[in-house]
A and B are shown apart, each in its own frame.
Chain A
Amino acid sequence: MPAIVFNNISKKYEIGLRLGSIRDNIPMMLRKLIGRNPKREYIWALKDASFDVDRGGALGIIGPNGAGKTTILKLLSRITKPTSGTIKTEGRVSALIELGAGFHPDLTGRENIYLNGAILGLKKREIDERFDKIVAFSELEKFIDTPVKYYSSGMHVRLGFSVAAHINPDILLIDEVLAVGDMSFKRKSLKKMTELRNNDTTVVFVSHDLRSIEIMCKEALFIANGRIISKGDVRDVVTAYQMYDMERINVMREKSDTSDIPDEVFITDIHFLDINGNERDTLYSGEKTTVRIDYYAPKRIEKPIFAMKVERADGLICFLVRTRHSGIAMEDLEGEGHIDAEFENFNLNAGSYNMHVFVNDSKDILLYGSRNKSFRVINKDVDFGINSGIYFPGIKWRQFRK
């Protein structure tokens, strides 16, 4: 049973529709009177978009600015109505669409928690029950009786997220806001969202941070210019988005418009090379293997950190290695190139795996880019299968007699 059905939705906004005062509209009214209707201009914030999310599912929404991501959240939370199409949502929807929405600057954190809870549909008694948890999660115990106008933007997010996440919503909608918080709170929120999702809350999560999306969601949606470009498995969608983003940046470079080029490293491809340097899709347990990571950095990136994570098909993490831990200082990246990671013995047992390669900044905080690649490993002698573990020790057995 889907918790969200978003059926063939279009949403149109009128451009320049700013009905400020009657005086501004007198010319328009006059023109209407003499029968000449002024030409109206519309933009389609969303066009024929359909998707659904199962109960307890998590959907990530990615796309460039102005693509219609927030419009989807606003439609789901009933803030605005679709021009055409139908939306069904099941149960209580809690949305954190913008920072400090619903907070009154003159009221204290405590008063705002009650007000916000009521806006989200809670009774006073229900807020009483949750109050301590909300405060504890937000880590704002000391400031809870301070008017929120003295809060920093990070404190706003903490309070806003805490309230939204603790009202036990059936559907939780989270916009970009978490980007404002500090790293530790961001991690904590992601954990909380995962916890909610595991307790059957349906989560829709908009973010520019592809890594968070990949952690949180199995399914994703990539939209651009109000249209769904790609939807389905989160890895495919993220890849589709990265390709799109790279093309967009190339177009900008051709126009030599460098101001807007973001700090990004595109992993353009991942290759597996055998001992002879031939490319393969299937690897052999225990053989010498080189993983070649092609990258493209449109802008100079200082001393990045490359990381490589391999998971078995069932999600078990086999290993995660980083250039930093290996004591290798990477040089600055610019333009195209590749990084080789040489495995003397590729000690994975037979099975299906996924490799996730990502590039972080020198402090390991920001993500510059990432890419996934699936591959298979077989054992030359016998196919041991999944029950035989992941590690291929490459042992030589010997037998001795007394």
Chain B
Amino acid sequence: MSFFRNVRELIRYRELVFMWSARSVKVRYKQTLLGILWAIFRPFATMVVFTVIFSKFFQVPSEGIPYPIFSYSALVPWMFFATSITTGVPSLVYNIGIVTKIYFPREVIPLSSIGAAFVDFVIAFIILIGMMIFYHVAITLWIFLLPVLIVIQVMLAMGISLFASAANVFYRDVRFIFEVGVQLWMYLSPVIYSVETVPQKFIWLYMANPMAPIIDSYRRILIAGQPPQWKFLIMAASISLVIFLGGYSYFKKMEEKFADII
């Protein structure tokens, strides 16, 4: 099966993925005053703005959880997802010079964007832990589901990035579509509001967006100390897997044309 052959070759190049991710992080924060602190500052500042707007002015209900940690616990995984996509989609085109001159499995490039976004995620997560302590959040065993959520989310981000970065080589519009799309997507996911506010009759439709159960689950296992809504999470995992497989096979199909077109 060519899928397994591709994965095996990718594993052979795993160090390149790590190194390339590190390179993206380094380059991103080089010549900035705050450096890696931006990884904390971005979600934190967004959280503050959201808290002022949605909690103070609009008084969005947050299931009795203090709004700052309610929104920050969703913003951290959401920004991980959004950064993965917005940096992953244009990544192939940005690396024209390398794609046309050196061979290596091309998926390394978009996957490294996710790797770099993961570094930001981990750093922003440290602040989340600090906030959990500050707000005396009771930590339960459900927190051990965290890696599962990360895996599902990364799979989804990989599928989308692989598909869209390849498509972006042929149509440069794709990048802009995703930049706008990701912003709208946030409002379709329970980042600033709670799943509880979604009317029951639309709940299946709403949860068909894999990011909805994923974000909801983060909040449940980390802050609310509850299990995820299994049926929705399993649905999200299945959809993510399909998107990943589809995106990867599309990527490999288009890969051989990259160097000729870019």
Contact = CB atoms under 8 A, between A and B. Distances in A.
Interface string A23-59: 1010000000000000000000000000000000000
Given A81-B256, A104-B27, A19 B102 contact: no
Contact of A79 (B12, B15, B19, B103): B103
Nearest to A97: B101
Interface residues of B, number: 27
A102 B100 CA distance: 10
Contacts of B23: 104, 107, 111, 115
Sorted nearest first, the 7 A-B pairs with minimum C-beta distance are: A101-B101, A78-B103, A118-B16, A81-B256, A80-B259, A118-B19, A19-B170
Contact of B27 (A19, A25, A100, A107): A107
Contacts of A124: 15, 19
Contact of A101 (B12, B98, B256): B98
Could you tell me the dominant secondary structure of chain B's interface residues? Answer: helix
B1 interface: no
Contacts of A17: 260-261
19 contacts: A14-B260, A22-B173, A23-B173, A77-B102, A79-B100, A79-B102, A97-B101, A98-B101, A101-B97, A101-B100, A102-B98, A106-B26, A106-B27, A107-B26, A111-B23, A119-B98, A120-B104, A121-B12, A123-B15
Interface in A112-130: 114-115, 118-121, 123-124
A315 interface: no
A327 interface: no
A270 B30 CA distance: 62
Interface in A85-114: 93, 95, 97-98, 100-102, 104, 106-107, 111, 114
A21 interface: yes
A74 B259 contact: yes
Contacts of A25: 171
A21 B13 CA distance: 32
B102 A101 contact: yes
A121 B172 CA distance: 30
A13 interface: yes
Interface in B129-171: 170-171
Nearest to A120: B102
Interface in A194-253: none
A115 B19 contact: yes
Contacts of B256: 80-81
A20 interface: yes
Could you tell me the dominant secondary structure of chain A's interface residues? Answer: loop
Contacts of A119: 16, 98, 102, 104
B102 A121 contact: no
Interface of A: 13-14, 17-23, 25, 74, 77-81, 93, 95, 97-98, 100-102, 104, 106-107, 111, 114-115, 118-121, 123-124
B19 A95 contact: no
Given A74-B259, A95-B102, A104-B23, 13 more contacts: A18-B261, A19-B170, A20-B172, A21-B171, A77-B103, A106-B26, A107-B27, A114-B19, A118-B15, A118-B16, A120-B102, A120-B104, A123-B15
A95 B103 contact: yes
A201 B240 CA distance: 45
B26 A79 contact: no
Nearest to B97: A101
Contacts of B20: 115, 118
Nearest to B172: A21
A119 B23 CA distance: 12
Interface in B66-92: none
Nearest to B108: A119
A80 B260 contact: yes
Contacts of A118: 13, 15-16, 19-20
Nearest to A74: B259
